[in-house]
Amino acid sequence: MNSGNPLLQLPDNKFEAPQFDKINTEHFKPAFEEAIARGKRDIESITENSEEPSFKNTIELLEFAGSDLTNISTLFFNLNEANTSDLMQQIALEISPVLSEYSNDIMLNERLFKRVKSVYDNRGTLNLTKEELRLTEECYKGFARNGANLMGDKRDEFRMINTELSQLTLKFGQNLLAATNKFTLHITDKSMLDGLPQFVIDTGAEEAKERSLEGWLFTLHAPSYVPFMQYSNRRELREEMWRAFNSRSLYDQFDNREIVRRIVELRLQRANLLGYSTHAQYVLENNMAGTPQKVESFLDDLLAKTLPFAKKEIDEIQLYAAQNGFGEKIMPWDFGFWSEKYKSEKYSVNDQLLKPYFRLESVRDALFSLAGTLFGLKFISNSTLPVYHPDVKVYEVYDSEGDFISLLYLDYFPRASKRGGAWMTSFREQSIKSGIERRPLVSLVCNFTKPTTESPSLLTFNEVSTLLHEFGHALHGMLARGSYPSLTGTNVVRDFVELPSQIMENWATEGEFLKSFAVHYKTGETIPDHLIEKIIKARNFLSGYSNVRQLTFGINDMAWHNLITIEQVDDVVQFEKRAIKRAQIFPDVESVSISASFGHIFSGGYSAGYYSYKWAEVLEADAFSLFKERGIFCKKVAASFRDNILSKGNLEDAATLYRNFRGREPRADALLEKFGLITSPPSLL
């Protein structure tokens, strides 16, 4: 059955990498159907086994059950994010409830759970290895947290909730992508480009040309939106762009407000069914933070310490703008513009000055070199493996012994078929089955500045930091060691997963690293010391504002997901305004919303978990201080970080892994020290 479907065949390359050259969107639906049937047979073979439940005949078999479906789902939903189409989005809407039903059938299978529980209850007498014990405990916990202990009508309700949620979260993301693509600012009058640097003008011209339009076109995708907001002298256009960006999926055919409310309601109902008072309580039980109270306290404490700095920074920008003839109150669409001018004047550094030194290929090679220095990795370009879009590049990754580590796919540039932002994902996790090791297939997807007819792809400093961030996630995935895919790589608790990514960002402001690759693409000049000094001095520019901005997202997330009753939500926009009021630093603007476009928490995996970015920043600031003490290229510290963090996945509790690396608990004030936002001595957690 389906023997000609490439999704159901073993790939014909030595890496068993996806056969993108043979896969058509039409292949997915029949492949899903066949893979689901195979997965059901795998489950039946476990439940029909008359032997006493054991780790091998129950837990381990369950870990690899439905592997075809896992592979197909992973591939499909990754492509739906990075290179979607109308047909793919339609299939996603059709298949999501089917996959939800399949998952529910497993988690609510009484005979299967009875066998899992038997192994779990007897785990202390089964002579399990450390890895086997961890998988057994995580497997049982997964069943319990997904309704296995529910009875009767509650099981049916749980099943219906999951099915509806799978569709709603998908629809949220589709609406957001459509709303982002819908808006464009088309300029035909050259005078309206006033203030824009040449690289921004060239990008706008290329965008217009691609759409067969005259003049210049600007979009809400980051490489277009961000520099426009920083440099355009046309305040009315900045306001138009800002309002469009911050009202995505509001009040139009892509409106997400009712979807937000319903997602929150269903998540709360599910948590209540499982015995939790809120969705946040349910989620955080599994995280390092542990409880909503701990997260709220963490956010409030950071807000109290950073809000005064943020307000002072805004006052400084307001004063600077006034001194330069701006007589009005700074609004959100003014802040990026005036702060960029202030930064350029105070530190004599800006993106226009730095971009020529950050050619994309040079930054990429520098990351590869850094991974080689720290972890002994080598990257070899492979132009023969098929890719899902011409922009995508593939690299083979090997360790210092010459052993294959991973494939790495790099997808740099924005397009209408790709959602915004930057992320790391995997087409396959690390595993060992029947003695055969399968190494990871990792992908980095970004939305960076495209090359133009005038210049190669030149990154902003923020894009350099972003690439370092995502590369940290990639290292976490590529360096995984272990037998069971659910325990390897980035499959760790949410407030720990950002540690490997955020620690890598630190190298962006290290002069020794910058001088190793930052060369002017025209002159060949290595970035001069005075520019590096300016970058380092500007590192903490607006650090108070940046921290409060991130805290606002975390506060908003917790407000939605620590609700006790949905009746607390009268209106989505107004609820959000009340929730984040204590962190508000700009005048109120009507008809805008974070929530309607907050994909991380409503279509991604960060519900009740957005705080984890700040939580992990505390960890990375403390962890990087060890590199600073011993040397930023110290192989001994890097080896410890690899052995205790990057390769371990979820084989042990996150807190234990961190202590094994650092030798102690993290210092709570490490983050504030890093950003220069502390005046009192640090204390221990």
Q: Which residues carry out catalysis?
A: 470
Helix (H, G, I), strand (E, B) or coil at 395: strand
DSSP notation for 79-112? HHHHS--HHHHHHHHHHHHHHHHHHHHHHT-HHH
Distance, in Å, from the CA atom of 247 to the CA atom of 596, rounded to the nearest integer, reads 8
Burial 606-633 (b: 16+ CB within 10 A, else e): bbbbbbbbbbbbbbbbbbbbebeeeebb
> Is the distance from CB of 260 to CB of 175 less than 8 angstroms?
no
What φ, ψ does residue 656 adopt, rounded to 5°?
A: -70, -45
Of 496, 518, 498, 497, the residue nearest 507 (C-alpha): 518
Distance, in Å, from the CA atom of 326 to the CA atom of 182, rounded to the nearest integer, reads 32
Distance, in Å, from the CA atom of 298 to the CA atom of 642, rounded to the nearest integer, reads 28
Report the DSSP beta bridge partners of residue 216: 187
- The secondary structure of residue 665, as a DSSP letter, is P
Report the DSSP beta bridge partners of residue 424: 444
Cβ-based neighbours of 348, under 8 Å, separated by 6 or more: 534
Helix (H, G, I), strand (E, B) or coil at 187: strand
> Is the distance from CB of 265 to CB of 566 less than 8 angstroms?
yes
Residue 208: other Cβ atoms inside 10 A? 19
> Is the distance from CB of 531 to CB of 354 less than 8 angstroms?
yes
